[in-house]
Structure 1
Amino acid sequence: MQANQHIIDQNRNTVERFLTGTHSKCIDDVDVIDDTVAPDINCHGFPGEPIVDHESYKGFFRSFRRRFSDMDWTVHALIADEQFVSARWEIQATFSSDFAGVKADGRRITFDGMVLYRMEDGLIAETWLHMNEMRLLREIGAIPAMAA
């Protein structure tokens, strides 16, 4: 049991370091990807170009952070086991650069989602992202709010 707890703690710590670096106020902190992600990463559910290696993963975060700047990131739940780590999160950010055909207007927006990381040897080897796209698109004005 003790060996399993060590692996669980290692996986959780890796994902916490990854999330802290990729969502920090300093965009250079995305370099944490080099230390926390397997070289042949496989990502699912990410908008834009496929993410297949460290540089494409960094590129995703750089592009995302240009569009949604001054980000505040909250992890509401982080659950880890020997093979997977899952996080439920929420982002508040400034809509700073055009996205989904909508011109940026500088307003603060909020959206949320979940992500599942498959771990191998203490590194993130595969990622499944689910953003609450409807909420994000509503927040930026791409779709109208639904009537109650």
Structure 2
Amino acid sequence: MTTEITELVRRDPEEVWTEGNLDVIEEIYAEEFVLHDPAAPDEPRGRDDYRDYVERYRKAFPDVEYEIEDVIAEGETAALRYTARGTHEGEFAGIEPTGDRVSVSGMEMYRVEDGTITEMWTSYDALGLFQELDVIPSLEELGEDSDG
């Protein structure tokens, strides 16, 4: 069972995000799926909301590629650690395209029931991403500006 869950959750970053195959959402996500993302103003609920969520990010970073670092599964739960890389070519969070290549690390926790993903919690280094997009100064930049 653990292997099946591991293979299932890997399909999200590999097929949905990296390959851009949004039809996979219908296969691997439950109809009543809920996404918990602190960066999303409203919790996406259901496959259509998740498809919209993915499309927004992929418009901003159309060449996004996910590298899976680790996947651990136990029971009906799986945790996944990744690094995503892409070029900022579309509006993102009100930020006009910069053309910058960015890299962001993150983690996701999935709950699986009856062979589909029913719930996901996601957390990624949003601060680091905004620093790479020059929206927020890095600690190094802040240190250079200080007098002591």
Bin the TM-score by the shorter chain: 0.7 to 0.9
User: How big is each residue's C-alpha offset from its partner over 1:57-105, in whole Å with a ceiling of 9 and x where there is no partner?
Assistant: 1111111000012112101111111111111111110001122332211
Instruction: Note the C-alpha offset of 1:30.
Output: 1.3
Is residue 141 from structure 1 mapped to residue 143 from structure 2 by the alignment? Answer: no
Q: 1:80 to 1:18 in 2, by over 3 A?
A: same
Where does structure 2 lack aligned partners over 5 or more consecutive residues? 144-148
SS in 2 for 1:70: coil
Partner Cα distance (1:143, 1:58) in 2: 29
Partner Cα distance (1:104, 1:19) in 2: 23
Partner Cα distance (2:7, 2:65) in 1: 20
Length-normalised TM-score, structure 1: 0.88
SS in 2 for 1:134: helix
Q: Which residue of 1 aligns with 2:53?
A: 60
Alignment of 1:1-148 (within 5 A): 7-25=1-19, 27=20, 29-45=21-37, 46-147=39-140
Instruction: Note the C-alpha offset of 1:48.
Output: 4.6
Partner Cα distance (1:101, 1:77) in 2: 32
Partner Cα distance (1:85, 1:113) in 2: 14
1:23–1:71 contact (8 Å) kept in structure 2: yes
Partner Cα distance (2:35, 2:90) in 1: 24
Question: What is the alpha-carbon root mean square deviation over aligned residues?
Answer: 1.4
Length-normalised TM-score, structure 2: 0.88
Q: Which portions of structure 1, spanning 4 or more consecutive aligned residues, are displaced by more than 6 angstroms?
A: none
SS in 1 for 2:130: helix
Count how many residue pairs are aligned between Structure 1 and Structure 2.
Answer: 140
